[in-house]
Structure formats: structure tokens, C-alpha cells
Amino acid sequence: MKINTVEIEDTFAEAFPMTGARLLVTAETLPWARIAGQTATGYAASVIGCDAEAGIEGELTPDQTPDGRPGVSLLFFAFSRDALQKAVVNRVGQCLLTCPTTACYNGLPVVRERRIRIGGQLRFFGDGWQFSKLLEGRRYWRLPVMDGEFVCEDYFGTVKGVAGGNFLIVASTQAEGLAAAEAAIAAIRQVPGVICPFPGGIVRSGSKVGSRYKKLKASTNDAYCPTLRAVVRSQ
């Protein structure tokens, strides 16, 4: 198959079932919301070595947020609901509670059997000075901090998600391959509900399952690595 003179091999991509959450993070200004989002989703490239896979889904205008301020939407994924809750609690506590002017809200429908508790876990930071407000059936915790209050919703909804989708780009030079990958990421970022958690959305260390070293779950994909084509059976 060819599209715009580019040959495309119609093959397959790996996929894993995941559990996902969507956070709406707001701040006084969009730059501070971006900083909060970038910090909270750091070190979340792959669940092979991270507690979650996460990224910024998009930016939000004031009319798209619960408190009428600019913000960003973040997606987090883990293999189980318990693992997801642990990762989100840790990341909100370390990266959003600490970030100037931020607040954190749930961005998905809440089903009792599939919800995770975030604000209700973080409220203890208030050391007895925290309090909550129940608005339209949703509880918000307010924690006193040095610049005012950190507002975080009590429960967050979760949904079933899919991780692992990928495709290989074969190019004549590194520059051509990178340009193609950047163009692909620019298109993917327009799709709601999707993140590309690797650096800039691109992964250069293509891997295969397993290794000659017993402790490793994954290792370099030698069959498709151009650096090794002179010494391995290249694909």
C-alpha cells in the first residue's frame, strides 16, 4: 500500500489492556498549567519501568474547566485500578499540590465501582485544617497552602484503555526518519483521548520482548536496528 509515495506495510501493532484516568489541571495562567502538567506526567514513558504511562492530552480554555481558569487535561494509564490510584495520588501530591496556583479536577464520569480516590487521600496534608465542599454531588477537598488553597476533587472516574500501539518508520537517514516521526506526532496530537508518552512522542530505542540477560524484560530490537545490520540478520 502506498500513500503520498510512501510505502506502508499493512501489518500489526502490539496492544495491552489498561485502566485510565483523565485529570483537569487549572492554574492562574496557561504557562503555569503547562508546567504542572509537564511535571506530573514526567517519567511516565512505559509501565515496563514507570508507575504509569502519562501525558498531556491537550490545553483547556477557561470555558472548558470547572473553575473558569486556563488548564490542561492529563491522561494516566496503569495495568490495574489500584496501581493507577497509587500513581495518580503520588503524582498529584508531589507535582500538583506543590505547583503554584494549581487545582485538580476529575475529567471522566464517575462510576462507583470503578472510581479511584485522589483528593480524599491527599487531604491529610492539611493536618486537620483541610475541609471539603459538596457541590452538585461532587466533593472537593481544600488544602491550605502558602499561596492560598489547593483544590482537589475527592473521587476520579476510570475507563478501560489500550496501550502499546506503535509503528516503525524506515528512512534513509536519521534526519528523514525524525522529520517523518515529528509529522506523525503532530497529527496524533489532534486526536482526543490519545497520548504519546515517550519523549516528544517518539521512541528511538525500539525493543523486543526478552533478552539474553535473564533479568531484562525487554532489549534492543536487533532485527530492526540499522546500527547492527552488518552483524545480524536484518529485517
Q: What pLDDT, in 10s, does the model give residues 2-16?
A: 988 889 998 888 899
39 has pLDDT over 90: yes
Q: What pLDDT, in 10s, does the model give residues 140-177?
A: 999 999 999 999 999 999 999 999 889 999 999 999 99
Domain ranges of the chain: 16-160, 167-204, 206-235
234 has pLDDT over 80: no
CATH architecture for the domain at 16-160: 2-Layer Sandwich (3.30)
Q: What pLDDT, in 10s, does the model give residues 103-142?
A: 999 999 999 999 999 999 999 999 999 999 999 999 999 9
Phi, psi values for residue 122, rounded to 5°: -85, -15
Task: Write down the pTM of the prediction.
Answer: 0.94
233 has pLDDT over 90: no
